[in-house]
Amino acid sequence: QEQGDYRILHEGALRDYLAGLPEIAALLGGEPLSWAITEVGDGNLNLVFIVRGGRGGIAVKQALPYVRLVGESWPLPLSRAHYEYLALSKQAQLAPGLVPALLHHNEALALTVMEVLEPHIIMRKRLVAATQYPRFVDDISTFMARTLFFTSDLALPAAEKKQGIAAFAGNHALCKITEDLIFTDPYRIAEQNRWTAPYLDGLAASLRDDMDLHVAISRLKLKFMASPEALIHGDLHTGSIMVTESETRVIDPEFAFYGPMGFDVGAVLANLLMSYFASAGHERSPAERAAFEGWVLETIEQVWNEFARKFLDLWRSEASGDAYPVSLFAGERGVARLEAERQAYMQRLFTDTVGFAAAKTIRRIFGLAHNIDFELIEDPKKRAISEARAVRLARAMMVEAAAFRTIADVTGAARKLR
């Protein structure tokens, strides 16, 4: 369909459009005029509507031709909706039940209709309220292990893997946002940067002057740009995860492309670490605080450990890709050597993860897009204390990533910074 077919569907136009889709109209039930339409988008980029009819509800996401957070002065391609749809389809296939069900997609309108998640709530909001989620470790580790393993060269024949890379290669404008906002701007003077001034002025200046850090972030940037290891979600923070007591759903994969696996795993760990450091700034009783912080650190450890365990299990049982040909690892010696190599691979992936987690943390404190974990700490002095602790750990994680041998080294270092 042609570019010219695009128009923003606000309430009335959206109602008419949905009424013209028989399956969606039947799912909603009742007269189109009776449908309740509410815009709920709280993200930085797109419109999201919840539509409720007599029978059921749906969520409708439409991309805008610009960055919602900034406005029309910052254009952004509508094609991101297509990549989000492609990624959601793939994730639904590889990690069933962990993403919202897809109901309809219109590429020209950059519009996707999906299952409405309720009573699911954005995880980050609940973390600010110190809520613990028992399902989270198992679900997110399964999501990451399966989506990353099955789109990698460990699982795919080379031709299929390269077709996957090609299918997402056009999503470069979204990659560029990450390349600029995460891997470049926080380390230089940039108009969009902000931080908790004046308390963090000195720290912001030291980041701009820290050549060890500039080398480390540039290596991570290159790894992000030049390592098509697997189909990554690309924006896997706790604002892209919706939860209930018993369910976890990953949403919003519009940044998806073939990139380094550690970027997704690092995103999850970074956001949990920020929730940990922010905890001290929120009103909580000492007991509540200790319980929540203990849970977050334990969750961080389990997310990595469970992810690694599941990924290795898949590698041992479902390695149908062209990497590590079985014929090169025959016999007892071969089997033992391949197992040792799997462990070495996971160690390198862990080092990548530690570095990317650090990059994800620093951008939330000095870059354009901040998160409510810190932003909802009203007293700027308290906020700055929490943020500065997170930055101290992040700097060590970035510059000396390989010194963190296990996830317990990360949580241990976080605990010491309280």
Please tell me the distance from the alpha carbon of residue 373 to that of residue 384, in angstroms, as a whole number.
12
Give least dist CB 101 to ligand ADP, A: 9
In whole angstroms, give the CA distance from residue 306 to residue 28. 39
Query: Which among 12-20, 40-48, 304-312, 345-353 is the span making contact with ligand ADP, rule CB under 6 A?
Result: 40-48
Binding piece for ligand ADP, criterion CB under 6 A, among 165-173, 251-259, 379-387, 401-409 = 251-259
Among 9, 28, 48, 368, binds ligand ADP (CB under 6 A): 48
Binding ligand ADP by CB under 6 A: which of 15, 17, 35, 46? 46
Does 313 participate in binding ligand ADP (rule CB under 6 A)? no
Stretch that binds ligand ADP, among 20-28, 114-122, 147-155, 270-278 (CB under 6 A): 114-122
| Token couple for 313 | 């299990």
Asked whether position 59 contacts ligand ADP by CB under 6 A, the answer is yes
Q: Measured at CB, which residue is nearest to Mg ion?
A: 43
Q: Which of residues 70-109 bind ligand ADP (CB under 6 A)?
A: 100
Q: For the segment 210-249, give every residue that binds ligand ADP (CB under 6 A).
A: 240
The distance of closest approach from Cβ of residue 249 to ligand ADP in the complex, given in angstroms and rounded to an integer, is: 7
Closest-CB residue for ligand ADP?
Answer: 43
Alpha helices in 199-285 (DSSP H): 201-208, 211-225, 261-279
DSSP at 109: T
Which range, of 13-21, 39-47, 160-168, 269-277, touches ligand ADP by CB under 6 A?
Answer: 39-47
Among 76, 81, 117, 231, binds ligand ADP (CB under 6 A): 117
Residue 59 phi, psi dihedral angles, 5° rounding: -115, 140
- Please, which residue, 364 or 383, has the CB nearer to Mg ion? 364
Q: What is the separation of C-alpha 277 from the centre of its chain, rounded to a whole number of angstroms?
A: 19
Residue 58: phi, psi to the nearest 5? -140, 160
Rounded to 5 degrees, φ, ψ at 127 are: -65, -35
- Residue 39 makes contact with ligand ADP by CB under 6 A: no
Contacting residues toward Mg ion, per CB under 5 A: 43-45, 252, 254
Q: Tell me how far CA of residue 223 lies from CA of 17, 236, 284, in angstroms.
A: 42, 17, 40
Write the single-letter amino acid at 164. Answer: G
Minimal distance in Å, beta carbon 122 to Mg ion?
8
Closer to Mg ion at the Cβ: 28 or 365?
365
CB of 45 to Mg ion, least distance (A): 5
Q: How many residues bind ligand ADP (CB under 6 A)?
A: 20
Min separation Cβ 184 and ligand ADP, Å = 21
Binding ligand ADP by CB under 6 A: which of 27, 43, 231, 401? 43
Longest CA pairwise span in the chain (Å): 70
Rounded to 10 degrees, what is the CA torsion of 64, 87, 368, 263? -170
| Alpha carbon distance 136, 299 (integer Å) | 8
Rule CB under 6 A: is residue 42 a binding residue for ligand ADP? yes
Q: Which residues contact 4 (CB under 8 A, 6 or more apart)?
A: none
CA distance linking residue 190 with residue 80, whole number of Å: 25
Partner touching 339 among ligand ADP, Mg ion, none, CB below 5 to 8 Å by kind: none
Residue 373 in the binding site for ligand ADP (CB under 6 A): no
Q: How would you list the strands of the sheet with 36-39, edge to edge? A: 36-39, 46-52, 57-63, 111-115, 102-106
Q: How far is the CB of 15 from ligand ADP (least distance, A)?
A: 18
Task: Name the nearest CA neighbour of 304 among 406, 416, 196.
Answer: 406
d(CA 50, CA 35): 10
Nearer to ligand ADP, 115 or 180 (CB): 115
Binding site for ligand ADP (CB under 6 A): 40-46, 48, 59, 61, 100, 114-117, 122, 240, 251-252, 254
